[in-house]
Amino acid sequence: MKTKYLILVLLFFVAHQLKAQLGGESTYEFLNLPNSARMAALGGNQVAVYDATDLNVAYNNPSLLHEEMDNHLLMNYVSYLGDVNFGYASYAKNFGDKGVFALGMHYINYGKFTYADEFGEKPGGTFNAAEYALNITWSKQFGRLRTGATLKPILSSFENYQSFGLAADLGVSLVSDDELTTLGLVIKNIGSQITTYYEGADRESIPFDLQLGFSRRLPHAPVRIAATLHHLHDWNLSEYEIVENEPQIVKVDEGFGKQFLRHLLLGVEILPSENFTIRAGYNYQRRQELVFDGKASTVGFSWGLGFKVSRFHFNYGSARYHLSATSNHFSVSINLNEGLR
């Protein structure tokens, strides 16, 4: 009965958010950035990677926040494009029957800008731009079904223009008895812009997403494969094109196969030992959107490494966003329950 009730609640939120997302562009797009080196290496996002030792997976699916993550601390940093950098830090605590809670902070710093007027004149002075999201996550297990939610107050600040918003993620995951197979469902960024950047402006939508994922660790090989379908509420993710002799743009008409690939994120992990992992991922949508002059090279591909030393977990991820731009992701997590050895 609890499972049926939960599913009905999730479907209600999906139906409500679909109506709210018709038309317009989204604000707070930094919420879609990968939070960790591991996820960056696995294509940018995976919502069904069950790993009780990695607090990072709870960012992508709050139901994956596990009791064994009690007293875990993590810090992530990304050298993004140009002078832009972003990061995420989180700490988890198990409160027994009340569930597991985690507190995190996600930020992006766009760097320093020089003041200029509409004529290109520079009167002098600089200003900063940044956005922040506080993540308050809860998870609890009911039988084999894990449930979770994240509440995200958001602050966006560009010079003297500021906006406040509120969003939430809802997630469920189902783990097999042997813990080799996981299914995950996430309704991401349910919410709204509360205050706009200037008085009288219309409220902008935030980047809602409906995601469904699967992962499988092979029983007789040190390999885990993972796949996530994103933007399931919006089937046509193709680019826009200009209609000849018409003052309008329309989306490119693509077949089922290409449209399906635009929704699919693929990742694989090779685990030769408990202390070392090799990762790779593929993001078809990113590759199609960021191809330049017909040249794609390795855009859309990603890779990474992870290793454990004592109570520290270190991860590195490299994701190619453009022919001339590769982002470097660094993650460090600490199990504060373990002593140095």
- Each residue's pLDDT tens digit, 152-161: 999 999 988 9
Which residues in 235-309 belong to E strands, given as ranges? 240-242, 249-251, 264-273, 276-283, 301-309
Tokens of 62: 């709050």
Cα 308–281–184 angle (5° rounding)? 85
User: How high is the pLDDT of residue 119?
Assistant: 77
Show the tokens assigned to 136: 């308050």
Query: How far does Cα 113 stand from its chain's mean position?
Result: 27
* Tokens read off for 176: 């097999």
pLDDT reading at 242 higher than 90: no
Instruction: Give 263-266's long-range contacts (Cβ < 8 A, gap of 24+).
Output: 263/229, 263/230, 263/231, 263/232, 263/235, 263/237, 264/227, 264/228, 264/229, 265/42, 265/43, 265/44, 265/45, 265/46, 265/227, 265/228, 265/229, 265/230, 266/43, 266/225, 266/226, 266/227
pLDDT digits (tens, 9 = 90+) for 191-211: 999 999 998 888 999 999 999
Give pLDDT tens digits for 7-41: 333 434 444 444 333 333 689 999 999 989 999 99
Residue 162: its pLDDT value, please? 94
If you average pLDDT over every residue of the chain, what do you get?
A: 87
pLDDT in tens, 276-324: 999 999 999 988 887 766 666 788 899 999 999 988 999 999 988 776 6
| Residue 240 confidence class, pLDDT cut points 50, 70, 90 | low
Entry field: residues in the chain: 341
Q: What are phi and psi of 6, to 5 degrees?
A: -65, -45
3-state DSSP assignment of residue 259: helix
Tell the residue number behind the tokens 């939070």, with chain if given: 35
Buried b (16+ CB within 10 A) or exposed e, 284-301: bbbbbebbeeeeeeebbb
Measured CA distances, 235 to 189, 255, 263 (Å): 18, 11, 8
Q: DSSP string covering 179-191, please? A: S-EEEEEEEEEEE
Element (H, E) at 285: helix 284-289
Going from the N-terminus, what domains does the chain have, and what CATH number goes with each? 2-22+42-335 (2.40.160)
Using the predicted structure, report yes or no on whether residue 5 has a pLDDT greater than 90: no
Amino acid sitting at position 271: L
CA distances to 53, 60, 209 from 256, in Å: 38, 27, 20
Give the model's pLDDT for residue 12. Answer: 40
pLDDT recorded at residue 13: 41
Dist CA 102 CA 150 (whole Å): 9
Distance, in Å, from the CA atom of 234 to the CA atom of 14, rounded to the nearest integer, reads: 12
Beta partners for residue 309, in sequence order: 312
Helix (H) or strand (E) holding 295: none
Q: Place 77 in a pLDDT band, splitting at 50, 70 and 90.
A: very high
